[in-house]
Amino acid sequence: MAGMGPLEGVKVIEIASLAPAPFGCMVLADLGADVLRVDRPDRTGRQALPPTDPLCRNRRSIRLDLKDPAGVGILLRLAESADVLVEAFRPGVAERLGFGPDVCLERSPRLVYARMTGWGQDGPLAGAAGHDIDYIAVAGTLEPIGRQGERPVPPLNLVGDFGGGGMLLAVGILAALLERERSGRGQVVDAAMVDGAALLTSFLYGLRAAGAWQNERGTNVLDGGAPFYDTYATADGRYMAVGALEPKFYDELLTRLELDGAGLPAQYDKSGWPVLRQRLAATFASRTQAEWDEIFAGSDACVAPVVSPRDAPSHPHNAARGTFTEAGGVVQPAPAPRFSRTPAGPPSPPVRPGTHTREVLATLGVPDSEITALRDRGAAS
């Protein structure tokens, strides 16, 4: 499906799963990799609605029953000519099914075998079920997020599934591919969301070591504790985001709010933060979001309107940069980052599972009679 971008020519096999691994594979596909998604057989007979999930864009799809040795046999043949194989089963499942890393690397020593899990391939929790919120909880990433005196707030599933999961997976795969250029050998990439979520807090650990971070949530500069790094309601029930950390930006903030001569407490005097917050809140509540957006236009006060996902594609900056695009009638984020010589192409919409089964099997040299037999037994569809 892909054909442009810096990863053009890289072949990836993706065993279908949910959220983090598809996101990592979407990043690879966006950047030009040829990603073949191995979907499960449809045992329900239902006609699925047209696929719309952006995480599944830029793919070809084949259906294999990986509980059938014949389906596993086809997968192993595909792995022989692939650069990367991605699976997201619990530890040991791929081995039991017959396509664990030892088997695949024996057939293709240059293969990068990438494993996406929540807890990792080892450790006391490796075999346990979990979701994003569990992984970031144990990683120490969830506890600091929230208001003072209140319970932790889940940051959607962005930190575990996507930042600490799928993006880490993509980085690991790219690093392994680069190393392979020197060694000529593939390897196993163990990408765990608990590891990635912890990695994302590296900056916080530096602040703690410097004595610049308090353990109580909602009391620090970057967690909503500081009144100059927070959100404020406007007269029309919307919000403005304020990030005026540096003194010169803070001075600009007060100037635009017409509070520069109001005798407010010093910016970093924590004892004065309640008063400062009250004044900022009252001031922002006096005008609409659009009015404040106009007032802060062109300033270095580090103030921006809080825009919903519905409205983000039409924000002037996003529109000018093409930050969002459309594929299959679905508005969605465009591929990123951008490249000067090898730009990524526009994404193609997701296809129905099994769309390319016959085509892919034929490319492997499987004769029509065998393809029919595989379909008849349900090993491929």
**Residues carrying an active site annotation:** 131, 161
Give the helix ranges, DSSP H, for the chain: 20-30, 69-80, 93-97, 101-107, 132-138, 167-183, 193-199, 202-209, 247-256, 273-284, 289-296, 316-321, 357-363, 368-377
48: amino acid identity, one letter: A
Cα 275 to chain centroid distance, Å, stands at: 38
From 84, 119, 118, 117, select the one nearest 101 (Cα to Cα): 84
Angle between helices 368-377 and 69-80 (to 10 degrees): 130
Q: In this structure, what DSSP letter does residue 318 have?
A: H
Angle between helices 20-30 and 167-183 (to 10 degrees): 60
CA distance 196 to 206: 17
- Count other C-beta atoms under 10 Å from residue 124's C-beta: 7
Check: CB of residue 176 under 8 Å from CB of residue 187. yes
From 287, 226, 292, 232, select the one nearest 256 (Cα to Cα): 292
CA distance 206 to 204: 5
381: amino acid identity, one letter: S
Sign of CA dihedral 188, 193, 199, 205: negative
- Count other C-beta atoms under 10 Å from residue 10's C-beta: 22
Sort residue 228 into left (φ over 0), alpha (ψ -120 to 50) or beta.
alpha
- Count other C-beta atoms under 10 Å from residue 212's C-beta: 12
